[in-house]
């Protein structure tokens, strides 16, 4: 009992660690950095990590069987404890024996859902076995502009970390590797960076990627002797543009540039690799924790972990894609038992390639060219620096009563934040959101929030997170 309580506390601390004040984080992380990794990360991490190693080169047939067992477990759990699914399975006439015998066939009969299906029917999507000590209330963040909150098991982060470590090991990562990070961390103080002793990161600002700032922090970046650069594609690009302009070089011991969380466009990856003379290593994942995929050692294609979730690729006809088809990524996660996501449309698209990579020998689903929710829209700071959408991403409670929001910018250094409220929204929410962004941008962009009745979509029906009207050009390489 005592142990499970301690374990719950550890999971909560792990998930909320990033939001602690720097002084507190620095104190905790320095103290904990002396603890052996296997104790620090806990038993869930160890179990998942071991399982990945034991299963990654299994035959396609055995992996399929394991995936079906995981699917059966989620389907049975949903049928027994989630009202939405128990009603649906009754309507479809699916008995539990079929969920056990042919779960993939059962899945194919379930209508895909998306975030609006869940948001509009939230209480009936929650498992009635919900236990507050094993779950958190989280969100997909602000990048879609329409905040989406949901419950999820609190052990997800340590489990996911086991997958990420396994992924990055393909390019030489280990738990002692040091990273220099450009991923939207708010940086306080005069140094221009913060250390995290536990994750072995030196975090730099993503809100001030000017020549002046990068020139100032460059000696500290090199002195840290980093093994990896950990960035968004767009912050890696800004870094490379600086490297090219200033004639600098990245420290020699850097093994790769790890990038994820937003689209990377044709030409950008080559550009980063040419300028840095390092490999760009990409991965794809999201807050809902349904699919996690990364490149292999030998190819540039994404490999989805079949142990993490069941991924389907649905083409424009609504059918399962054939190799070469452009398809939507649809996921059923194995991790979230509090709110099971079954056949969830991610809104992300890719080119589906097959179920096996001949280069590395893994029987994992393979795809390339991810396009979707993550774009490279940017805001411009007063010094002309660009701030990418992924760095602007927020995960706080302040957006609970917001339906949709959008930045409007026509002057570098200033932005108007349009907020379309929903029921329960109050003036204090508006002030809190305004304050949150202004703290994050730290004077680089001054944000003023306004409440509006409507935020129109573009003529293609797409939603723009940033309505950019300055004369600056979008960061990128064409």
304 is an interface residue for Zn ion by CB under 5 A? no
Q: What number of other Cβ atoms are within 10 A of residue 158's Cβ? A: 22
| Minimum CB distance to Zn ion smaller for 360 or for 433 | 360
Backbone phi and psi for residue 240, each to the nearest 5 degrees, phi listed first: -65, -40
Alpha-carbon distance of 2 to 459, in angstroms, equals 57
Q: Which of residues 59-98 bind Zn ion (CB under 5 A)?
A: none
Quickly count: other Cβ atoms within 10 Å of residue 191's Cβ.
Answer: 12
Q: How far is the CB of 357 from Zn ion (least distance, A)?
A: 3
Judged by CB under 5 A, which stretch of 91-99, 100-108, 166-174, 357-365 contacts Zn ion?
357-365
Tell me whether residue 14 or residue 301 sits nearer to Zn ion (CB atom).
Answer: 301
Stretch that binds Zn ion, among 107-115, 178-186, 251-259, 297-305 (CB under 5 A): 297-305
- Taking the complex as a whole, the smallest distance from the CB of residue 319 to Zn ion amounts, in Å, to 26
**Nearer Cβ to Zn ion (239/296):** 296
Q: Does 169 bind Zn ion (CB under 5 A)?
A: no
Site string for Zn ion, 360-379 (x = CB under 5 A): x-------------------
User: Binding to Zn ion (CB under 5 A): which residues in 107-166?
Assistant: none
Pairing state of beta strands 256-260 and 279-284? parallel
Residue 361: CB minimum distance to Zn ion, A: 7
Least separation in angstroms between CB 174 and Zn ion: 20
Residues 312-351: x where in contact with Zn ion by CB under 5 A, - otherwise, as a string:
----------------------------------------
- Min dist. Cβ of residue 368 to Zn ion (A): 12
CA atoms within 13 A on the CB side of 246: 18
Q: Minimum Å distance from CB 316 to Zn ion? A: 27
- Backbone torsions φ then ψ of 292, nearest 5 degrees: -135, 130
The 8-class DSSP code of residue 214 comes to: H
Measured from the CB atom, the residue of 229 and 360 that comes closer to Zn ion is 360
Question: From CA 101, how far away is CA 294, in angstroms rounded?
Answer: 31
CA nearest to 356, candidates 429, 281, 306? 306
Q: Which is nearer to Zn ion, 169 or 211 (CB)?
A: 169
Total residues at interface with Zn ion (CB under 5 A): 5
Q: Does 220 bind Zn ion (CB under 5 A)?
A: no
In the complex, the smallest distance separating the C-beta of residue 74 from Zn ion, rounded to whole angstroms, is: 27
Residue 303 C-beta: closest distance to Zn ion, Å: 6
- What SS3 class is residue 28? helix
Q: Do residues 452 and 416 make contact, with C-beta atoms less than 8 angstroms apart?
A: no
In terms of DSSP bridges, do strands 309-314 and 326-333 run parallel, antiparallel, or are they unpaired? antiparallel
Task: Name the helix (H) or strand (E) containing 375.
Answer: none
Q: Per rule CB under 5 A, is residue 387 in the interface with Zn ion?
A: no
State the minimum distance, in angstroms, from the CB of residue 360 to Zn ion.
3
Quick check: 296 binds Zn ion (CB under 5 A)?
yes
| Nearest CB to Zn ion, comparing residues 183 and 279 | 279
Rounded CA-CA distance 374/360 in Å is 28
d(CA 315, CA 87): 28
Which tokens belong to 145? Answer: 């502009």
Mention every residue, 6+ apart, whose C-beta is less than 8 A from residue 251.
Answer: 221, 222, 225, 226
Distance CA 424, CA 95 (A): 41
Contact call for residue 357 and Zn ion (CB under 5 A): yes
Stretch that binds Zn ion, among 225-233, 277-285, 293-301, 313-321 (CB under 5 A): 293-301
Q: What is the CA radius of gyration of the chain?
A: 22
- Rounded Cα–Cα distance for residues 388 and 465 (Å): 11
Beta bridge partners of residue 310, listed in sequence order? 332
Residue 68 or 359 having the CB closest to Zn ion: 359
- The strand pair at 366-371 and 193-196 is best described as unpaired
26 vs 299, beta carbon nearer Zn ion: 299
A 10 A CB-CB count for 117 gives 15
Q: What is the closest distance, in whole angstroms, from the C-beta atom of residue 297 to Zn ion in the complex?
A: 7
Q: Which is nearer to Zn ion, 98 or 169 (CB)?
A: 169
Shortest distance, position 170 Cβ to Zn ion, whole Å = 9
Stretch that binds Zn ion, among 129-137, 290-298, 392-400, 431-439 (CB under 5 A): 290-298
Contact 413, 445 (CB under 8 A): yes
- Give 295 or 436: the residue with its C-beta nearer to Zn ion: 295
The smaller minimum CB distance to Zn ion, of residues 361 and 456, is found at: 361
Query: Does 359 sit near Zn ion (CB under 5 A)?
Result: yes
Q: Could you tell me the two tokens for 436?
A: 């949150």
Residues near Zn ion (CB under 5 A) are 296, 299, 357, 359-360
């Amino acid at each position: 009992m005592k142990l499970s309580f301690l374990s719950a506390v550890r999971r909560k601390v792990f998930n909320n660690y990033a939001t602690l004040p720097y002084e507190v984080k620095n104190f905790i992380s320095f103290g904990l950095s002396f603890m052996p990794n296997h104790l620090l990360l806990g038993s869930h991490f160890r179990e998942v990590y071991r399982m990945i190693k034991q299963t990654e080169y299994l035959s396609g047939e055995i992996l399929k069987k394991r995936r079906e067992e995981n699917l059966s477990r989620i389907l049975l759990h949903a049928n027994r404890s989630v009202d939405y699914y128990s009603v649906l399975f009754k309507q479809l006439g699916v008995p539990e024996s079929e969920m056990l015998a042919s779960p993939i066939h059962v899945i194919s009969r379930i209508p895909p859902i998306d975030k609006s299906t869940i948001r509009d029917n939230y209480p009936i999507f929650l498992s009635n076995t919900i236990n507050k000590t094993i779950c958190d209330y989280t969100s997909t963040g602000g990048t879609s502009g329409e905040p989406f909150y949901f419950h999820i098991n609190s052990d997800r982060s340590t489990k996911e970390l086991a997958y990420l470590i396994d992924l990055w090991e393909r390019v030489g990562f280990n738990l002692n590797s040091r990273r220099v990070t450009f991923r939207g961390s708010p940086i306080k103080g005069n140094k221009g960076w913060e250390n995290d002793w536990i994750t072995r990161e030196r975090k730099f600002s993503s809100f001030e990627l000017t020549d002046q700032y990068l020139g100032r922090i460059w000696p500290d970046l090199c002195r840290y002797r980093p093994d990896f650069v950990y960035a968004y594609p767009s912050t890696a690009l800004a870094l490379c543009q600086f490297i090219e302009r200033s004639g600098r070089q990245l420290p020699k011991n850097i093994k790769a540039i790890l990038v994820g969380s937003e689209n990377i466009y044709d030409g950008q990856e080559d550009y980063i690799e040419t300028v840095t003379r390092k490999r760009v290593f990409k991965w794809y994942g999201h807050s809902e924790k349904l699919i996690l995929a990364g490149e292999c050692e030998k190819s540039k294609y994404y490999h989805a972990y079949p142990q993490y979730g069941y991924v389907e690729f649905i083409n424009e006809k609504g059918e399962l894609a054939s190799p070469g088809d452009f398809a939507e990524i649809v996921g059923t996660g194995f991790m979230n038992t509090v709110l099971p996501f079954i056949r969830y449309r991610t809104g992300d698209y890719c080119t589906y390639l097959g179920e096996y990579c001949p280069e590395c020998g893994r029987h994992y689903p393979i795809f390339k060219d991810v396009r979707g929710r993550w774009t490279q829209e940017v805001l411009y700071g007063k010094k002309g620096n660009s701030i990418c959408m992924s760095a602007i991403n927020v995960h706080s409670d302040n957006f609970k009563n917001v339906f949709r929001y959008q930045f409007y910018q026509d002057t570098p250094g200033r932005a108007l934040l349009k907020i379309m409220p929903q029921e329960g929204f109050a003036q204090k929410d508006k002030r809190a959101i305004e304050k949150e962004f202004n703290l994050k941008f730290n004077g680089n962009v001054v944000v003023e929030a306004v409440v509006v009745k409507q935020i129109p979509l573009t003529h293609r029906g797409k939603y723009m997170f940033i309505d950019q009207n300055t004369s600056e050009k979008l960061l990128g390489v064409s």
